[in-house]
Amino acid sequence: MTELIVQNVHKYLGGLHILKGASFTASRGSIVSLLGASGSGKTTLLRCVAGLEQPENGVIKIGGKAVLDGEKRMTVAPENRNIGLVFQSYALWPHRTVAENVAYGLRLRGVNKADTEKRVLDTLGNIGLGHLAERYPDQLSGGQQQRVAICRALVYQPKVLLMDEPLSNLDAKLREEARYWIRKLVLDLEICAVLVTHDQAEALAASDNILLLRDGAVAQEGAPQEIYDRPKSFFAADFLGANNVASGRISRNASGTRIQGDGWSLDGVVLGEGEDGDGKAVIRVEQVAVHGQPGPGRIEMRLEACLFLGDRWEYRLAWGAFRAKAFGTRPLASGQVWAEIPRQSVWLFPEAA
């Protein structure tokens, strides 16, 4: 059931065009991630949905009800949009206890005292924070604060849960736990959730659908696997994953497409649009396999360095002007090695004319 529809939202700030017609939808029991670098407009888009920023144009519907219609100059205040928003800073009110923080949304909705208390304790109990109800936010750890913030945004069952970089203030280990926990919560409670993040791992792991934003526009949208495996632009390809990028000339012949540089050339597939000519190749690091011996389809390269990373080894390869990174399970001596790069893993993006 689609709870959130965002259509063609435009936002200007001063002379800048911050959002250039972003559109997406989100449904219950799923997470849509807005992924992008800083300045891509992802947080602005989220704040437009929340009603904290006012777009100049576009349509936003929450739970089937329009909350913004640029044509009709109609707009609904944030408090009337029935949303829950989790802030990067958690924004817990310092003068209120955990229970009071969580209860506020219910109080505003006229829920009676007994019910409020019960629902607050239930919600806090669900996430294992029942014993902290009487504490003040500054007495909690970062992870606990984050969970309280989510509780506060969920307790009154909003149509849409918006999360603005909810994990960025947690340390790495906690972050991995939290993204699993959030995903489980959303699926279990059948919440319609929108997650803003700059962390691709977080987006890939937690979401059902990813909107990759660039300069206020959606560069690509799709399920995590789709967007990872079939990027439609150099930007999308390069933004996700760990990549080897090389510049060269793309040429097509009967047998397929090639990219050629100074002292190297690779077969590949063209993913971007455009003519032959200068272009770029993107190869995911994990697609490069390095061997000690020659074999079919293997290319001879020079191993310049081999770095120990703990769980694996990183190889630094050179082939003419071509430089690449690859991973392997064992150390290799510097010098001659043979690399295997599948043709369909060499993504070619001709430069736009």
Partner 1 sequence: MPAETASVSANAVSSHPTQGVATRPATTMPLPGNARAFRVTVISLLGLCVLAPILLIFYQSFLDGPFFTPASKLSLEAYRYILTDAMFYDALWNTVIMAAGMVIIAVPLGAGLAFLLTRTDVRFRKTLEVVVLVPMFISAIVLAFGYTVSVGPSGFITMLSRHIFGAAPWTLYSLTGIVIVTGLAHVPHVYLYVAAAMRNLPSDLEEAARSVGAPIWRVFLDVTMPMVLPALIFATALNLLVGFEMFGVPYVLGDPSGIVVLTTYVYKLTTLFGVPTYQLMAVVVVLLVLLTLPLVWYQRRLLRHGRRYAALGGKGPRTQVMRLGRTGQIIALSFVGLWLLVSVMLPIGGIVLRAFVDAWGQGVNPLEHLTVKHFGNLIEVPSLFRGIVNTVILSVVGGAAAVAIYLVIGLAGHRNQGFSNTLLDYMVLLPRAMPSLIVGLAFFWLFLFVPLLVPLRATLISLFAAYVIVGLSYGLRLLQGTLIQIGPDLEEAARTTGASIGQTWRDVVIPIVRPGLVGAWALIMIVFLRDYATGIYLMSAGTEVIGSLMVAQLQSGAMDTIAALAFVSILLTGVGLGLAFRLGAKIHD
Based on the shown chain and the rule CB under 8 A, indicate whether residue 222 belongs to the binding site for partner 1.
yes
Residues contacting partner 1: total by CB under 8 A: 69
Question: In the range 177-196, which residues lie near partner 1 by CB under 8 A?
Answer: 187
Among 221, 229, 238, 340, binds partner 1 (CB under 8 A): 221
Among 201, 223, 269, 305, binds partner 1 (CB under 8 A): 223
CB of 30 to partner 1, least distance (A): 5
CA dist., res. 96 & res. 84, Å (int): 18
Question: In the range 85-104, which residues lie near partner 1 by CB under 8 A?
Answer: 85, 87-89, 91-95, 104
Residue nearer to partner 1 on the CB measure, 84 or 244: 84
Residue nearer to partner 1 on the CB measure, 67 or 337: 67
On whether the CB atoms of residues 60 and 6 are closer than 8 A, the answer is yes
CB of 306 to partner 1, least distance (A): 39
Q: Which stretch binds partner 1 (CB under 8 A): 139-147, 213-221, 305-313, 338-346?
A: 213-221
- Residue 236: which of 34, 36, 42 has the closest Cα? 36
CB of 59 to partner 1, least distance (A): 11
Question: In the range 35-94, which residues lie near partner 1 by CB under 8 A?
Answer: 50-54, 56-57, 70, 73, 75-85, 87-89, 91-94
Q: Which stretch binds partner 1 (CB under 8 A): 212-220, 239-247, 249-257, 302-310?
A: 212-220
Residue nearer to partner 1 on the CB measure, 80 or 251: 80
Based on the shown chain and the rule CB under 8 A, indicate whether residue 156 belongs to the binding site for partner 1.
yes
CB of 177 to partner 1, least distance (A): 21
Interface with partner 1 by CB under 8 A: which residues? 2, 5-8, 10, 12, 17, 20-30, 32, 50-54, 56-57, 70, 73, 75-85, 87-89, 91-95, 104-105, 108-109, 152-153, 156, 162, 187, 208-209, 211, 217-218, 220-223, 226, 232-233
